[in-house]
A and B are shown apart, each in its own frame.
Chain A
Amino acid sequence: MDLVKHLRYFTVVAEELHFGNAAARLGMAQPPLSQRIRRLEEELGVRLFDRSSRQVRLTGAGRAILAEAGEILVRVDRLRVLAGRGEGAVLRVGVPPDLGSAVIAALIAGFEEAGDDVRLAPAELWSADQAAALASGALDVGVLRHPVAAPGLNLGPVLVQRPGVVLAASDPLAAAPSVHLADLAGRRLVLFPGEPGLHEETLAECRRHGFVPEEVHEAQTLGLVMAGAAVAFGPRVELPGLRWRPLLGAPLAWRISTAWRGEASPAAVAFGAVAVRVLKENAGMTDDGAAPVRQVRARPSSGFLA
């Protein structure tokens, strides 16, 4: 018997809890649907629906497999989509918009050099959007910033970037060769939009080092910084009106890695390798080994199953 097809019938009946409605949704008559559910019950050796009452209800066994059945169907659909892409196919990759044109161009060139017969279709997406797109199958590989809330994603090697601070040229701090986070006190801060995890960790680190921004703006460009109204964190920039200074003690560590869902295709593996190389060579990132491991001193209120 075609188990996947029968699981699809099962999930529709479980959603409708009505054989007539489920049959209508599936575009079939009710008797064959009931028959197929019975066959599935025979196959699994358990009753999935309780039909004794006037209502159709899921049995305990039915409830137990419902979520798993849904997951199997999503994966089968994804598998079909993947299989449908043959030669000359497209690898859909996500990259953070702030990486910059030069890095994205290097990614494309590096991937073409790797010689796969696959065309790269990069989309500029912030990490939270990439995680959602990977989960739904709209993206094959992401290059995203940590941390992301995305259970079930596989991650490539983690790279780390040590951002400095971007100041207006007129800012008195620009006169010093490096800046301590605490020196930024009283200033407003510009952070990328669409990076809630990075946002939270960066602000936590700022607070820890004595910098509580007067106000936090989410913006993609450095206009506010250029106007002298705020500061930003990021890699070295060379723009008129702006000064980049390293942060004393490199307190901020931004982590980035490739991510994908399920088994990676050969093209995705090739892209992952290119991405790691390009990010190291063109974007100044280093292996995560350089970053200190944060010790966790457990507290009861945040312990296992508190």
Chain B
Amino acid sequence: MTGTNGGPDFAGLFRAAGVTGLLHAVDVDTGAEVSCGADEPVVLASVFKIALMVEFFRQADRGLLDPAERVTVMADRHTPGPTGVSAMADDVTVSLRDLAYLMIAVSDNTAADTLAGRVGLAAVNTMLAGFGLDGTWVEHDCAGLFASVVADSGREDMPTDPAVISRLRVLDPARTNRSTPRETAALLAAIWRDEAATPASCAWMRRLLGLQVWPHRLASGFPYDDVAVSGKTGTLPTLRNEAGVVEYPDGGRYAVAVFTRSYGTAQNQPRADAVIGTAARAAVEHLRSPAL
């Protein structure tokens, strides 16, 4: 089965997993690409942390901040979240770049907001515009996202009631941090081509993205010891995203951005997580096929 542009049947893969999905995959070195709705606006959720990381390292490159500077994050000033500093009980003193590690490796919301306070969201948007990523926009930090969910749902846990979910503004790309699959993949490709910041900073960013712990989405599609998968997930009610880079032993490297929205509202949907990997592998295999 093939899709409309001669690529794999992405829509069929997504449908079989109970989600709708959008995807863009690009060969980092040749620019060959395959996609499914590459230019549709998508909700970034935590994938916006990639852009925040890029601007953080660019400011470090310019000497505007010292990545080794130690800051104390007070326990009573946490942004809600299930991982990292967000889940810790006590004040934490940690370097800015280690906060960047926590923000990427375990999607730590408090780490992200601490960096956002230092870097400034306006600076992130200026950086994105400078790269010509006009469809990518950071509207709020994690605390802002959380406040929006609470305002719309009237509760502090993530809702599963379809009626509540249908009125969440953070699920509408026009009202929250947004991008397109193509632009998200382009930002990652720039990190892998040493174009997003200095080569040293790009190498650091690649290391952090390679340290991300979640195995259930993008990485699940590439169960091979000799293939590296680096990425950043994004999760909100019914939304499951991951954008990353897949590197093969022959040197082939592919930036892939996958954004899904499930029909079901259950939080645990392993098949919806796994189809991100399945679709990404279909895309990468298409880009690696000799016919192309």
Interface string of A151-175 (1 = CB under 8 A from B): 1111100100000000000000000
Cβ of A153: which chain B residues have Cβ within 8 Å of it?
Answer: 166
Please measure, in the bound complex, the distance between the C-alpha atom of A294 and the C-alpha atom of B161, giving whole angstroms.
Answer: 10
Cβ of B70: which chain A residues have Cβ within 8 Å of it?
Answer: none
Q: Nearest Cβ in chain B — how far from A106, in angstroms?
A: 25
Q: Nearest Cβ in chain B — how far from A274, in angstroms?
A: 20
Q: For A63, give the chain B residue with the smallest CB separation.
A: B137
Tell me how many residues of A have a C-beta within 8 Å of chain B: 41
Contact of B82 among A60, A63, A296, A298 (CB under 8 A): A298
Please measure, in the bound complex, the distance between the C-alpha atom of A152 and the C-alpha atom of B178, giving whole angstroms.
Answer: 17
Cβ of A58: which chain B residues have Cβ within 8 Å of it?
Answer: 129, 134
Cβ of B35: which chain A residues have Cβ within 8 Å of it?
Answer: none
Contact of A304 among B80, B269, B271 (CB under 8 A): B80
Query: B264, A204: Cβ atoms under 8 Å?
Result: yes
Cβ of A67: which chain B residues have Cβ within 8 Å of it?
Answer: 41, 137, 173-175, 178
Q: Nearest Cβ in chain B — how far from A96, in angstroms?
A: 15
Query: B162, A305: Cβ atoms under 8 Å?
Result: no
Query: B166, A304: Cβ atoms under 8 Å?
Result: no
Give the secondary structure class of A's interface. Answer: mixed
Interface string of A189-202 (1 = CB under 8 A from B): 00000001111110
Interface string of B135-176 (1 = CB under 8 A from A): 001010010011001000000011010110111100111110
Cβ of B20: which chain A residues have Cβ within 8 Å of it?
Answer: 149
Q: Does residue A81 face the partner (Cβ distance < 8 Å to B)? A: no
Q: For B133, give the chain A residue with the smallest CB separation.
A: A63
Q: Does residue A110 face the partner (Cβ distance < 8 Å to B)? A: no
Q: Does residue B131 face the partner (Cβ distance < 8 Å to A)? A: no
Q: Does residue A287 face the partner (Cβ distance < 8 Å to B)? A: no
Please measure, in the bound complex, the distance between the C-alpha atom of A128 and the C-alpha atom of B262, giving whole angstroms.
Answer: 12
Q: Does residue A146 face the partner (Cβ distance < 8 Å to B)? A: yes
Cβ of B175: which chain A residues have Cβ within 8 Å of it?
Answer: 67-68
Query: Which one, B60-68, B221-229, B232-240, is touching chain A?
Result: B232-240
Query: B174, A151: Cβ atoms under 8 Å?
Result: no
Q: For B174, give the chain A residue with the smallest CB separation.
A: A67
Please measure, in the bound complex, the distance between the C-alpha atom of A299 and the C-alpha atom of B268, giving whole angstroms.
Answer: 8
Query: B263, A196: Cβ atoms under 8 Å?
Result: yes
Chain A residues close to B by CB (< 8 Å):
57-58, 60, 63-64, 67-68, 70-71, 128, 146-155, 158, 196-201, 204, 255, 257, 294, 296, 298-306
Chain B residues close to A by CB (< 8 Å):
15, 17-20, 41, 45-46, 80-83, 87, 106-107, 109, 122, 125-126, 129, 134, 137, 139, 142, 145-146, 149, 157-158, 160, 162-163, 165-168, 171-175, 178, 214, 216, 233-236, 238, 261-269, 271
